[in-house]
Amino acid sequence: MCRFYTTTYEALRIFFAWLLRYPIQSESQELLAQSWRLGARYSIPAYQNEVMRHSVEVLHTEPVDIFAVRDACVYTCDFEPRIADIIPKRDRLLRKAFVTQLASDSRFGHPWESDEETYGKIGLDLNHEFHKDFSHAVCFGKLKGNPIESGARIEELLVDEAKK
């Protein structure tokens, strides 16, 4: 028997729809982050890649949701070490997608829908991995030049399906 721990009903709904060959249609970045995590937890790279493709489309059209960034960082960083310990480094692609897009949005003046108080409450201000990734994306990311080419790039975010 398979048990789906730490998975929301909505994330399971997207997963079962994908199994039945329906396209992923959610526009909620937070829900997409939860869906990707489901694929990571149960080693389903084809599902992770499909969720990531859709996530990148959404990230390129909407301002980054700070709660989705938190979910991406909480899952793979120091807030829940018992979970982070089971995630190999190559599967930290979710965090990279959201943090890179957030850095790009900040650079090109896209509105951040959050405020400083919310940022403090969700704990990202205390998260070393978030700050390290964000600084790297700002300093060394592909942010210069054309804003269309910056941000999360799908070719850098897919899970290698052959190795899983």
DSSP string, the chain: ----TT--HHHHHHHHHHHTTPPP----HHHHHHHHHHHHHTT-HHHHHHHHHHHHHHHHHSPPPHHHHHHHHHHHSTTSHHHHTTS-GGGTHHHHHHHHHHHHHHHTTPPP---HHHHHHHTGGG-HHHHHHHHHHHHHSS-SS-GGG-S--GGGT---STT-
The model's pTM is 0.80
Rounded Cα distance between 158 and 49, Å, is 5
- The answer to whether residues 40 and 94 touch, using CB atoms and an 8 Å cutoff, is yes
pLDDT score for 80: 46
pLDDT score for 123: 73
Domain positions in the chain are 10-16+26-156
Mean pLDDT by 10 residues, the chain (164 residues): 71 96 95 90 91 95 87 60 51 84 74 61 75 80 58 83 61
Rounded Cα distance between 93 and 156, Å, is 8
pLDDT score for 119: 67
The phi-psi region of residue 50 (left if phi > 0; otherwise alpha if psi is between -120 and 50; otherwise beta) is alpha
Rounded Cα distance between 96 and 107, Å, is 16
pLDDT score for 56: 94
